[in-house]
Structure 1
Amino acid sequence: MPNSIEHHLTDALLMGYSAATLPEAFSLTIATHVSMCDECRARLGAFDSIGGAMLDAAEAPAMDPSAMAAALTAAKLPPAASPVPRKPGILPTPLQSYVGGDLEAVKWRAISHGVRQAILPTQGGATARLLHIRAGTAVPDHGHNGTELTLVLQGAFMDDGARFARGDIEIATEDLDHSPIADIGDDCICLAATDAPLRFRGWVARIAQPFLRI
């Protein structure tokens, strides 16, 4: 099947991931997208090559190549809480490590009518969560106090006239206020990473926000 991903990562995010300077939640989201997207994987490879060349040119004590590779891998992809066998499923391999398996292992919690979430164990100033949005359901209207990366794993959602399907990633910043709606068909499952609390318009969502950690 040809690659049909239409919404990709920015160069800035790929470079940050390559340099291992991003919060763990962002690194997890980027690693998951890259595992699904040939284009972004190729671009990341180019940034990795540039970074490797700069390291080679720098005056620094020599490091065993295998040790350097292990260090870079550990910095980009933090180890899972517990090793799990990889198997085909909805969740790509980087994400299965955090969940402990595929969708059947996710511990969902309802956060509003038709929307469930599961917060993943990450550190470093950002939060990662899985979202399960019933087909046809809209996410409460909100803005952003920072950056939010939303990667579609199943189904699709519509936002401001654009459609985001499996493998697509939406990058929302402080200038975006929106209310995405899950497309008709399969329920929409996404991986979302945020580095600041969302800015909800509705008072019910604002009251619940501290308890739901969104």
Structure 2
Amino acid sequence: MKIHHHLSDELLLEYASGNLSEGWSLAVATHLALCPECRRTLEAMEGAAGALFDKIKPAPSTSSDSWEAMKARLVAEEVTEKRPPVPAKRSPDHAFVIPEPLRSYLGGDVKDLKWNALGRGAYQIRIPTADKDTQVRLLKIPAGKPVPEHTHDGREITLVLAGSFRDGSDIFARGDVEEADGDLLHTPHATEGEDCICLAVTEAPLKFTSWIVRAIQPILKI
């Protein structure tokens, strides 16, 4: 499997620094499970950050119990804070269509899933998270069919898990990721031969150009 479309360095840096919310982290971690190149880039980023951290001299402590106070704070945060997904395995899991950590969120692989119809042969599964900033869903687009033309209010990440789709002159297949925002008006089109299954993370509902799709959008929750 050759991956041609990778995560941006900016997104990987956010992930490495722990600044991504759960929905975005889930998309990044799932891509990392499939992409050796991005795993190597992440490891280089983490190595560089570790080297810089080692050079930082700690400030003199003004209190004898400052370390105990810091440990207590860390324990409290670990208990109360919803942690992002565990980083992806360092080797792809070829036995499954859906890799970890996404498979655990869904409760199984493709054969175990219960899809909700969107119409015209398309299906979705909304994936609950504790993250209030994103909407996370698994989509299945019929082979040869398009997604209605739309743009975005904010960022969108789409990760292909099976099949492929065409967007303009680009083809996105298993492991490929597309990052989009409000500057992109597009009509992704599933290629022939196999339904396209992908993970999509957005921070706002899509903005469709068709008034018919906009009319039913609140019902479909897309």
Asked if these proteins are the same fold (TM beyond 0.5), I'd say: yes
Coarse TM-score class (shorter-chain normalised): 0.7 to 0.9
Of residues 182, 202, 214 in structure 2, which corresponds to 1:174?
182
Distance 1:137 1:108 in 2: 18
Match of 1:48 in 2: 46
Conserved in 2, the CA contact under 8 Å of 1:18 and 1:76? no
Shift of 1:77: 1.3
4+ long deviations beyond 3 Å? 53-56, 60-64
Q: How do 1:151-162 residues align onto structure 2 when only pairs under 5 Å count?
A: 151-162=159-170
CA-based RMSD = 2.5
Match of 2:62 in 1: none
Gaps of at least 5 residues in structure 1 are: 80-85
Shift of 1:93: 1.6
Gaps of at least 5 residues in structure 2 are: 60-66, 88-92
Distance 1:127 1:95 in 2: 14
SS for the counterpart of 2:101 is: helix
The higher radius of gyration belongs to 2
| % identical equivalent positions | 46
TM superposition score normalised by structure 1: 0.85
Of residues 111, 116, 119 in structure 2, which corresponds to 1:112?
119
Match of 1:22 in 2: 20
Conserved in 2, the CA contact under 8 Å of 1:17 and 1:76? no
Of residues 4, 11, 15 in structure 1, which corresponds to 2:2?
4
Match of 1:96 in 2: 103
1:165 is the counterpart of 2:177: no
The worse-fitting range, judged by mean Cα deviation, of 55-64 and 88-97 is 55-64
**Cα distance per residue 1:14-52 (max 9 Å; x no partner):** 001111111211100110001100100000111122333
Of residues 163, 184, 188 in structure 1, which corresponds to 2:192?
184
Conserved in 2, the CA contact under 8 Å of 1:20 and 1:75? no
TM superposition score normalised by structure 2: 0.82
The worse-fitting range, judged by mean Cα deviation, of 97-106 and 137-146 is 97-106
Aligned residues: 200
